[in-house]
């Protein structure tokens, strides 16, 4: 074996290796090529095994050639490996391509009932002004629903509330949230800023704007020096929050036995903006709530001295606010719970 022969064999080996690497079409085949040429018993080792037969001065030269062949093969292996990886990735991506316009997995979106959410919104607005929520019972005593509110038995003002009575002496289904005023005054010392949302009942035939069950929110503020101007300012703030900035409002006289003076709070019609339309009976105004300064007798019944304390109360119909807020034209929708209605409030 001489130098030239060995060199020629290494050269042939290199060429064959490079061909095999280029021909390998999978990572496994490439691995086999690597083992075959560069492995412990690979071709390169075998050829270089003949180096011992060479004269000593020639050996370093052959060793250098051998290293060059190894490096060339390793470089080719690396390039081929990358090529195969890229091809495999491309194949996978192609395989995984889908119709992206197919609908997503249907997570169901639930809904919150517009009446309860309207109550929550009302509480959120008044909460900014320090009003906190209290709760009162639905089955209420006549004493608190009427008598403590300055409405004695057989008083003509009782005609304002068509009452549903129950078979428990002295009790009825509360006709308004106003008895909450008494509950709050009896359990809390002024300063009082209270909000009482709740379900109310009336003996009333059901139609598009009436129901025998409905929701109200009562407001009560009592302190030394609370005035009707405070009431006006708060209700204006509420109207702006609920119906948008700049909407005109007005007080006009009203009547409730438990407030004196009593007012109705009107907001410019949200349908016609004051021009006059069937929704506002052509007056340009919509009555949002009733209010007034807490009657001195009611303060007394709540355990407070009317010479020291003044207060106001208001009662607003959740249904009415919700109707205006969402443009609902039939109050019966609220308790019918048709999913086609409810799902619009998700």
Partner 1 sequence: MRVPLSWLRDYVDVDVSPEALAERLTLLGMEVQGIEHRGADWQRIVVGELLTVEPHPGSDHLLVTTVRTSPQEPVLTVLTGASNVAAGQHVPVAVPGAVLPGGRRIEVTRMAGRESQGMLCSGDELGLTTDADGILILPADAPVGVAMTDLFGDVVLDIDVKPNRGDALSLIGLAREVAAATGARVRWPEIVLGESEPPTESHVSVEVEDAVLCPRFVARYVGGVRVGPSSLRVQARLTAAGVRPVSNVVDASNYVMLELGKPTHTFDADRITDGRIVVRLARPGERLETLDHVLRDLTPETLLIADSAGPLSIAGVMGGASSEVGAATTAVVIESAVFDPVTIRRAAHHHALRSEASLRFEKGQESRLARIGANRVAQLIQAWAGGQIAAGCADTNPVEPEPSRLPFRPWRVSSLLGADVPVAEMRALLQRVEVQTEPAGRGDVVPVAAGFPGVVLGAADAARALVAIVPPHRRDLEIEADVTEEVARVMGYDRVPGRLPETPMPEYRPDPRRTVDAARDALAGRGLDEVVTHALVGPVDHERLGMPADDPATIRVTNPLSIDHSQVRRSLLPGLVRVLVENERQRRSDVSLFEVGHVHRLVDGVPAERPMLGVLLGGDQSGAAWNQAARPADLWEVRGLVMALCARVGAAPPSAARPDSFGPFEHPGRTAVLHVEVDGGACELGRAFELHPSYLEAVEARSGHVAVALLDLDVLQSAIPAVRRYVPFPRVPAVERDLAIVVGDGTLAGDVDRVIRESTAPLLRGLRLFDVYAGAPLAPGERSLAFRLTLQAAERTLTDEEIDATVARVVDALAARLGARIRS
Q: Contact residues for Zn ion (CB under 5 A)?
A: 269, 271-272, 277, 279-280
Q: Which of residues 267-286 bind partner 1 (CB under 8 A)?
A: 281, 283
Name which position in 40, 41, 95, 340 contacts partner 1 (CB under 8 A).
340
User: In angstroms, rounded to a whole number, what is the distance separating the alpha carbons of residues 25 and 15?
Assistant: 18
Name which position in 93, 94, 100, 339 contacts partner 1 (CB under 8 A).
339
**278 contact choice in partner 1, Zn ion, none (CB below 5 to 8 Å, kind-dependent):** none
**19 contact choice in partner 1, Zn ion, none (CB below 5 to 8 Å, kind-dependent):** none
Contacts of 52 by beta carbon, 8 Å cutoff, 6+ apart: none
How many CB atoms are closer than 10 A to CB 257?
Answer: 20
Name which position in 29, 212, 241, 277 contacts partner 1 (CB under 8 A).
212
**87 contact choice in partner 1, Zn ion, none (CB below 5 to 8 Å, kind-dependent):** none
Do 83 and 47 meet the contact criterion of CB atoms below 8 Å apart?
A: no
Pick the closer one to Zn ion by CB: 25 or 209: 209
Pick the closer one to partner 1 by CB: 93 or 339: 339
Rule CB under 8 A: is residue 205 a binding residue for partner 1? yes
Binding mask 222-251 for partner 1 (x = CB under 8 A): -xxxxxxxx-xxxxxx------------xx
User: In angstroms, rounded to a whole number, what is the distance separating the alpha carbons of residues 314 and 263?
Assistant: 9
Q: Which of residues 80-109 bind partner 1 (CB under 8 A)?
A: 102-103, 105-109
**53 contact choice in Zn ion, partner 1, none (CB below 5 to 8 Å, kind-dependent):** none
CB of 235 to Zn ion, least distance (A): 20
Choices 49-57, 72-80, 86-94, 337-345 (CB under 8 A): range interacting with partner 1: 337-345
User: In angstroms, rounded to a whole number, what is the distance separating the alpha carbons of residues 328 and 202?
Assistant: 21
Choices 1-9, 56-64, 175-183, 187-195 (CB under 8 A): range interacting with partner 1: 187-195
Q: Which of residues 153-182 bind partner 1 (CB under 8 A)?
A: 154-157, 159-160, 164-168, 171, 173
Q: Is residue 193 exposed (0-12), middle (13-18) or buried (19+ Cβ within 10 Å)?
A: buried
Residue nearest to Zn ion (CB): 269
Closest alpha carbon to 159 in 170, 146, 169, 168: 146
Choices 52-60, 65-73, 86-94, 302-310 (CB under 8 A): range interacting with partner 1: 302-310
Contacts of 258 by beta carbon, 8 Å cutoff, 6+ apart: 149, 150, 151, 178, 181, 292, 294, 295, 298, 313
**57 contact choice in partner 1, Zn ion, none (CB below 5 to 8 Å, kind-dependent):** none
Q: What is the DSSP letter of 50?
A: G
**50 contact choice in partner 1, Zn ion, none (CB below 5 to 8 Å, kind-dependent):** none
CB of 248 to Zn ion, least distance (A): 13
Name which position in 40, 52, 307, 327 contacts partner 1 (CB under 8 A).
307
How far, in Å, are 3, 107, 162, 293 from residue 242 at the CA level?
Answer: 99, 31, 29, 23
Q: Which of residues 49-78 bind partner 1 (CB under 8 A)?
A: none
**142 contact choice in Zn ion, partner 1, none (CB below 5 to 8 Å, kind-dependent):** none
Contacts 24+ apart (CB under 8 A), 4-13: 6/47, 6/50, 6/51, 6/54, 6/62, 7/62, 7/65, 9/47, 9/50, 10/47, 10/48, 10/62, 10/65, 10/66, 10/69, 11/69, 13/37, 13/43, 13/44, 13/47, 13/69
Name which position in 17, 66, 257, 315 contacts partner 1 (CB under 8 A).
257
Rule CB under 8 A: is residue 207 a binding residue for partner 1? no
Instruction: Look up residue 197 and give its two tokens.
Output: 């949302």
């Amino acid at each position: 074996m001489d130098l030239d022969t060995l060199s020629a064999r290494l050269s042939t080996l290199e060429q064959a290796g490079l061909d095999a690497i280029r021909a390998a079409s999978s990572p496994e085949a490439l691995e086999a090529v690597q083992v075959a040429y560069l492995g412990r018993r690979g071709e390169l080792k075998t050829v270089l095994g003949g180096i011992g037969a060479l004269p000593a001065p020639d050996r370093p030269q052959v060793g250098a050639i051998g290293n060059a062949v190894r490096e060339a093969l390793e470089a080719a292996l690396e390039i081929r490996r990358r090529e195969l990886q890229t091809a495999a990735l491309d194949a996978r991506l192609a395989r995984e391509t889908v119709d992206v316009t197919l609908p997503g997995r249907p997570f169901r979106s639930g809904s919150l009932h517009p009446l309860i959410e309207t109550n929550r919104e009302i509480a959120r607005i008044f909460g900014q002004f320090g009003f906190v929520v209290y709760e009162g019972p639905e089955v209420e005593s006549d004493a608190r629903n009427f008598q403590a509110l300055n409405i004695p038995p057989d008083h003509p003002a009782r005609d304002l509330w068509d009452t549903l009575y129950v078979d428990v002496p002295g009790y009825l289904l509360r006709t308004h949230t106003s008895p909450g005023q008494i509950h709050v005054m009896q359990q809390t010392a002024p300063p009082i800023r209270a909000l009482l949302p709740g379900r109310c009942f009336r003996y009333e035939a059901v139609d598009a704007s009436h129901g025998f069950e409905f929701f109200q929110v009562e407001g009560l503020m009592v302190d030394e020096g609370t005035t009707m101007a405070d009431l006006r300012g708060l209700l204006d703030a509420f109207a702006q929050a609920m119906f948008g900035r700049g909407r005109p409002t007005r007080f006009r006289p009203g009547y409730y036995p438990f407030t004196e003076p009593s007012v109705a709070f009107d907001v410019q019609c949200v349908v016609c903006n004051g021009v006059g339309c069937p929704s506002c009976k052509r007056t340009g105004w919509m009555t949002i709530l009733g209010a007034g300064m807490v009657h001195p007798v009611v303060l007394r019944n709540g355990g407070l001295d009317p010479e020291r304390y003044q207060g106001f109360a208001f009662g607003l119909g959740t249904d009415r606010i919700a109707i205006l807020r969402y443009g609902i034209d039939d109050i019966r929708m609220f308790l019918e719970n048709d999913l086609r209605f409810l799902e619009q409030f998700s």
